[in-house]
């Protein structure tokens, strides 16, 4: 079946550095992707999304890159802050009209 980001790795970065969180997806028909941030004990929070007709989209301090050739999605966080510490996970909509598939995520730890 479809799979998104099967592993839960941990990424540690120094405060002020840039962070890059990666996600691999398996369904080449996916046309919509979302990045979520989940702080401990809270519900996931929408960060940024991207459609398959784009390869880059920027938000406030965040950039999402989509490489459809290798089915790879990444989230870049500029000038990482302590408040960015959380689990980040991507989600794909395999086909329009179907429910999303979520990965387990990556834990981001920001070191002082």
Partner 1 sequence: SQTIHQWPATLVQPVGSPLSLECTVEGTSNPNLYWYRQAAGRGLQLLFYSVGIGQISSEVPQNLSASRPQDRQFILSSKKLLLSDSGFYLCAWSVGGTVLGYTIYFGEGSWLTVV
Residues that bind partner 1 (CB under 8 A): 4-5, 8, 32, 34, 36, 41-46, 49, 89, 91, 93, 95-105
Among residues 14 and 95, whose Cβ is nearest to partner 1?
A: 95
| Least distance to partner 1, CB of residue 67, Å | 21
Distance CA 25, CA 71 (A): 6
Among residues 54 and 112, whose Cβ is nearest to partner 1?
A: 54
| Least distance to partner 1, CB of residue 6, Å | 9
| Least distance to partner 1, CB of residue 52, Å | 12
The answer to whether 36 and 44 have CB atoms below 8 angstroms apart is: yes
Is residue 5 helix, strand or coil? coil
Which long-range contacts link 46-53 to residues 24+ away (Cβ below 8 Å)? 47/75, 47/88, 48/75
Distance CA 37, CA 90 (A): 9
Among residues 41 and 83, whose Cβ is nearest to partner 1?
A: 41
């Amino acid at each position: 079946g479809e799979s998104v980001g099967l592993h839960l790795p941990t990424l540690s970065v120094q405060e002020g550095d840039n962070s890059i969180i990666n996600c691999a997806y398996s369904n080449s028909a996916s046309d919509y992707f979302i990045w979520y941030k989940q702080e401990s004990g809270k519900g996931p929070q929408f960060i940024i999304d991207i459609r398959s007709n784009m390869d880059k989209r920027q938000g406030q301090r965040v950039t999402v890159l989509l490489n459809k050739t290798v089915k790879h999605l990444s989230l870049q966080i500029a000038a990482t802050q302590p408040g960015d510490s959380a689990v980040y996970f991507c989600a794909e909509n395999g086909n329009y009209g179907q429910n999303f598939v979520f990965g387990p995520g990556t834990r981001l730890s920001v070191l002082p």
